[in-house]
């Protein structure tokens, strides 16, 4: 007799917890055969606002973690992910991908996490500068995370597209609210479980499922979100979000990328979500001693 499978209730991820949506609503995701596969949370605007509160609360402490520690945590995500590869490949194939494509996507997602793990304690060295000003001041510019970042990943790349946007955001000390792919949300929720087991502090990453037309405008117009990152949504979706983002001058980045490409990664994805802060301090100039000896 065929064993009765234990089906999973897909939840959302806010502030390090796995609630269902506060609205009590759901939508059904079908498997590749067109049969009901999961009842996923149809998140509300309130869920988005809750996620922003959680992300803001976590941001300061995350940014103040040592860069080395953030690197270790990102690497830990990759380790946990590696151990659950099969689950992700299963989910991707259930959502219609070929096994081969699913394997490639999962592998690439892990490589990408490792790539950004390595950047955590290096990007600031590359993007910073000591500026030789003409006056008697010590002057330097360095990176600071923008803060709370909204992420709407490529809708057709539910795992790799998500990780490609998320990893540079959190590597740089930002916290994130991710709106998962509407049609293929399963991997995003399972990825939250990986994050949860990887020493990522609660609230650093928040993942919501649901309808973009409901959640995305709330995210893009939210006055406590500092930046918005999207990918391959198309102008029709993008432009209104961009307009709504103006209210608090969110930084807005729309990446047109094929995330399956091994070169769809780089320092600039981290740098885009960093502010440059310049600090001045006078240098004492008294007495006659020079620096020649």
Q: What is the largest CA-CA distance in the chain?
A: 93
Q: Candidates 46, 99, 133, 262: give the one binding another protein (CB under 8 A).
A: 133
- Name, in order, each residue with C-beta under 8 angstroms of 86's C-beta and a sequence gap of 6 or more: none
279 forms part of the interface with another protein (CB under 8 A)? yes
Question: Do 43 and 23 touch, CB atoms closer than 8 A?
Answer: yes
Query: Smallest gap, in angstroms, from Cβ of residue 261 to another protein?
Result: 13
Element (H, E) at 277: strand 274-282
Query: Smallest gap, in angstroms, from Cβ of residue 157 to another protein?
Result: 21
- Name, in order, each residue with C-beta under 8 angstroms of 132's C-beta and a sequence gap of 6 or more: 139
Q: Candidates 31, 72, 93, 139: give the one binding another protein (CB under 8 A).
A: 139
What's the token pair of residue 123? 């990007």
CA distances from 127 to 70, 143, 212 (A): 18, 7, 34
- What 3-state class would DSSP assign to 68? helix
246 forms part of the interface with another protein (CB under 8 A)? yes
Q: Candidates 9, 32, 66, 129: give the one binding another protein (CB under 8 A).
A: 129
249 forms part of the interface with another protein (CB under 8 A)? yes
135 forms part of the interface with another protein (CB under 8 A)? yes
- The site that binds another protein (CB under 8 A) totals a number of residues, namely 34
66 forms part of the interface with another protein (CB under 8 A)? no
Backbone angles phi, psi at 27, to 5 degrees: -135, 155
Q: Candidates 174, 206, 215, 226: give the one binding another protein (CB under 8 A).
A: 226
131 forms part of the interface with another protein (CB under 8 A)? yes
Q: How many Å apart are CA 136 and CA 142, to the nearest integer?
A: 20
Query: Smallest gap, in angstroms, from Cβ of residue 167 to another protein?
Result: 19
Nearer to another protein, 16 or 217 (CB): 217
Nearer to another protein, 146 or 165 (CB): 146
Query: Smallest gap, in angstroms, from Cβ of residue 177 to another protein?
Result: 18
- What 3-state class would DSSP assign to 208? strand
Q: How many Å apart are CA 118 and CA 92, to the nearest integer?
A: 27
Query: Smallest gap, in angstroms, from Cβ of residue 65 to another protein?
Result: 13
Stretch that binds another protein, among 130-138, 157-165, 169-177, 199-207 (CB under 8 A): 130-138
What's the token pair of residue 27? 């939508």
Question: Do 58 and 15 touch, CB atoms closer than 8 A?
Answer: yes
Binding-site ranges for another protein (CB under 8 A): 126, 129, 131-135, 137, 139, 141, 144, 146, 226, 235, 238-239, 242-243, 246-249, 251, 266-268, 275-282
């Amino acid at each position: 007799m065929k064993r009765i499978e234990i089906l999973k209730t897909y939840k959302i991820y806010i502030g390090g917890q796995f609630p269902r949506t506060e609205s009590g609503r759901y939508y059904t995701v079908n498997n590749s055969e067109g049969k009901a596969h999961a009842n996923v949370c149809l998140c509300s605007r309130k869920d988005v606002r809750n996620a922003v509160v959680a992300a803001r609360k976590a941001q300061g402490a995350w940014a103040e973690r040592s860069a080395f520690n953030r690197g270790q945590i990102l690497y830990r995500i990759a380790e946990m992910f590696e151990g659950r590869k099969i689950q992700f490949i299963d989910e991707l194939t259930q959502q219609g991908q070929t096994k081969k494509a699913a394997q490639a996507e999962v592998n690439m997602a892990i490589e990408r996490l490792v790539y950004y793990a390595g950047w955590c304690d290096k990007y600031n060295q590359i993007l910073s500068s000591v500026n030789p000003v003409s006056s008697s001041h010590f002057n330097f510019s360095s990176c600071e995370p923008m803060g709370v970042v909204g992420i709407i990943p490529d809708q057709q790349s539910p795992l790799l597209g998500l990780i490609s946007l998320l990893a540079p955001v959190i590597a740089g000390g930002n916290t994130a609210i991710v709106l998962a792919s509407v049609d293929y949300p399963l991997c995003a929720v399972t990825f939250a479980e990986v994050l949860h087991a990887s020493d990522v502090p609660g609230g650093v990453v928040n993942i919501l499922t649901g309808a973009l037309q409901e959640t995305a405008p709330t995210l893009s117009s939210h006055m406590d979100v500092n930046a918005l990152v999207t990918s391959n949504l198309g102008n029709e979706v993008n432009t209104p979000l961009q307009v709504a983002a103006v209210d608090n001058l969110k930084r807005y980045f729309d990446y047109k990328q094929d995330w399956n490409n091994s070169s769809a990664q780089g320092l600039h994805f981290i740098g885009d979500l960093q502010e440059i802060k310049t600090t001045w301090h006078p240098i004492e100039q008294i007495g006659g001693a020079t620096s020649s000896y």
